[in-house]
């Protein structure tokens, strides 16, 4: 009990918070059958595609999977700095 | 009579399925219902031991389902609790010996004889699980506040939904002291992750081991915390769905409170 209090004072992570976070991620990966590595690759690819059209803050782009009982949603969030100017009819390049 | 068939399941083994089945079954019978508890764990039977009926087995669920004996012959009457019957698993058969059809047919017959049929599901999600779920109208998922148990519970809940069963959750073996200091998932955390309705919270209780030792269900004793929680789950299944769910809390002794106060511990 006293240890718990001291841990709180020095801001030590509660093990149940770690458990909860691990569980939430494990369930997402279980359900979608994808690994963290694949998610990382997806993030890179999304950055690449979006960058053809917008100049974005690549470091602030977040990729999140929100899980509901019946579906999972892929949520990509990124601040847009400005649009990439390109000539009409010409294929966009990265 | 048109009884209700309820499967008690968990995915992970060793989280308290059989203990819950034995106690909820006993409590329902003590309320005056005719109850059959069925051990679906063929090859690894244990429900008989929890009820202290291990020496009385002649016929098993395999005999009853395959028509080798009458249901009445396979259903062992409990020694102390009226209206409680056990249909034991067979110990010698292969776990895939029964077909889904045989189980559902058996449960259809049992429905006419009993108010409640509780199926003690084996661990895992193979044939024994599939059979138990196919025969059930309702499901109770047992999980403990641990990562592995919650993960397996999530898997099982998904499989139950796929069969149009909306399960209810029991969080078992809660240690309030650990929850309080943040070293155990709280029931709120578990519900948050699994997003299903609760039907009971059961604290960790040494009495469970003692009751297993003696083969007398906990719900028959007045002073057990886990027994009380399990009894209340039975009441909820038996027409009192809104009976409040009590959250296990830390019981502080006079001296402990004093000491904590002196050293500035929390609360």
pLDDT of residue A39: 82
Residue numbers in A near B154 (CB within 8 A) = 27, 30
Rounded to two decimals, the pTM is 0.81
| Chain B interface mutation, best of A3, A4, A8, A72, highest count of B Cβ atoms under 10 Å | A4
- As a whole number of angstroms, the distance between CA A37 and CA B47 comes to 44
- As a whole number of angstroms, the distance between CA B180 and CA B127 comes to 39
Please give, rounded to a whole number of angstroms, the shortest distance from the CA of A28 to a CA of chain B.
10
A38 and A76: one domain? yes
CB-count burial class (<10 Å; 0-12, 13-18, 19+) for B259 = middle
Tens of pLDDT, residue by residue over B215-261, are: 999 999 888 999 999 999 999 999 999 999 999 999 766 655 555 55
A20 and A52: one domain? no
A74 and A42: one domain? yes
- As a whole number of angstroms, the distance between CA B73 and CA A46 comes to 66
A78 and A51: one domain? yes
Please give, rounded to a whole number of angstroms, the shortest distance from the CA of B188 to a CA of chain A.
11
What 3-state DSSP class applies to B49?
A: helix
Domain count for chain A, please give it: 2
pLDDT in tens, chain B (267 residues): 799 999 999 999 999 999 999 999 999 999 999 999 999 999 999 999 999 999 999 999 999 999 999 999 999 999 999 999 999 999 999 989 999 999 999 999 999 999 999 999 999 999 999 999 999 999 999 999 999 999 999 999 999 999 999 999 999 999 999 999 999 999 999 999 999 999 999 999 999 999 999 999 999 988 899 999 999 999 999 999 999 999 999 976 665 555 555 554 443
pLDDT of residue A59: 85
- As a whole number of angstroms, the distance between CA B69 and CA B53 comes to 19
pLDDT of residue B264: 46
Euclidean distance between the first and the last CA atom of chain A, given in angstroms as a whole number:
57
Residue numbers in B near A18 (CB within 8 A) = none
Q: How would DSSP label each residue in B67-123?
A: TSS-HHHH-EEPSSSTTEEEEPPPSSS-TT-S-HHHHHHHHHHHHHH-SEEEEEPPS
CB pairs under 8 A between A and B: 59
Alpha carbon separation from B43 to B39, B48, B90, B112 (Å, rounded): 10, 13, 6, 28
Partner residues linked to A76 by β-bridges: A63
Nearest CA in chain A to B195: A69
Question: Could you state, in order of their start, the residue ranges of all structural domains in chain B?
Answer: 4-263
pLDDT of residue B267: 39
A71 and A40: one domain? yes
**What are the respective helix, strand and coil percentages of chain A, to the nearest 5?**
50, 20, 30
Q: What would the CATH number be for the domain defined by B4-263?
A: 3.40.50.300
β-strands B138-143, B76-77 pairing? unpaired
Residue numbers in A near B264 (CB within 8 A) = 5
Sign of CA dihedral B179, B181, B182, B183: negative
pLDDT of residue A91: 55
A42 and A81: one domain? yes
DSSP 8-state code for residue B251: P
**Global ipTM:** 0.81
Q: Is there a contact between A5 and B183 if contact means CB atoms under 8 Å apart?
A: no
pLDDT in tens, chain A (94 residues): 555 566 556 666 799 999 999 998 888 888 777 777 888 888 999 999 999 999 998 888 888 777 666 677 888 888 888 888 876 555 555 4
Relative orientation angle of helices B147-162 and A15-32, to the nearest 10 degrees: 40
CA angle B65, B70, B74 (to 5 degrees): 75
Alpha carbon separation from B73 to A3, B2, B33, B56 (Å, rounded): 58, 21, 20, 11
Rg, C-alpha atoms of chain A? 20
Residue numbers in B near A31 (CB within 8 A) = 158
The residue segments making up the domain with residue A69 are 34-94
β-strands B138-143, B4-9 pairing? parallel
Q: Is there a contact between B154 and A30 if contact means CB atoms under 8 Å apart?
A: yes
């Amino acid at each position: 009990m006293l240890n718990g209090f001291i841990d709180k004072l020095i801001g030590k992570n509660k093990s149940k918070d770690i458990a909860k976070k691990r569980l939430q991620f494990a369930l997402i990966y279980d359900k979608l059958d994808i690994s963290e590595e694949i998610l990382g690759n997806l993030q890179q690819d999304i950055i690449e595609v979006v960058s053809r059209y917008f100049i974005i803050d690549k470091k602030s782009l977040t990729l999140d999977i929100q899980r509901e009982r019946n579906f999972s949603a892929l949520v990509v969030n990124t601040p847009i700095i400005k649009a990439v100017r390109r000539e009409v009819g010409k294929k966009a390049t990265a | 009579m048109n009884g209700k068939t309820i499967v008690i399941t968990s995915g992970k083994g060793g989280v308290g399925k059989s203990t819950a089945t034995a106690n909820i079954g006993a409590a329902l019978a003590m309320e005056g219902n005719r109850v059959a508890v069925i051990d679906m764990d063929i090859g690894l039977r244990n429900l008989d031991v929890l009820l202290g009926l291990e020496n009385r087995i002649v016929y098993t669920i395999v005999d009853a389902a395959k028509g080798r004996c009458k249901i009445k012959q396979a259903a062992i009457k409990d020694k102390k609790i009226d209206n409680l019957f056990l249909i034991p698993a067979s110990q010698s058969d292969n776990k895939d010996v029964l077909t889904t059809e045989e189980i559902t047919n058996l449960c259809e017959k049992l429905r006419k004889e009993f108010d409640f049929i509780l199926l003690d599901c084996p661990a895992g999600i193979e044939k024994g699980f599939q059979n138990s779920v196919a025969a059930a109208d309702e499901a109770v998922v047992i999980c403990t506040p641990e990562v592995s148990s919650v993960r397996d519970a999530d898997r099982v809940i998904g499989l139950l939904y796929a069969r149009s069963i909306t399960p209810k959750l029991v969080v078992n073996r809660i240690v309030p002291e650990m929850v309080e200091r943040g070293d155990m998932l709280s029931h709120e955390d578990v519900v948050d992750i699994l997003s299903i309705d609760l039907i009971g919270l059961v604290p960790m209780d040494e009495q469970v081991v003692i009751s297993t030792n003696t083969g007398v269900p906990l719900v028959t004793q007045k002073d057990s915390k886990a027994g009380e929680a399990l009894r209340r789950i039975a009441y909820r299944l038996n027409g009192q769905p809104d009976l409040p769910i009590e959250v296990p809390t830390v019981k502080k002794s006079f001296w402990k409170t004093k000491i904590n106060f002196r050293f500035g511990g929390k609360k």
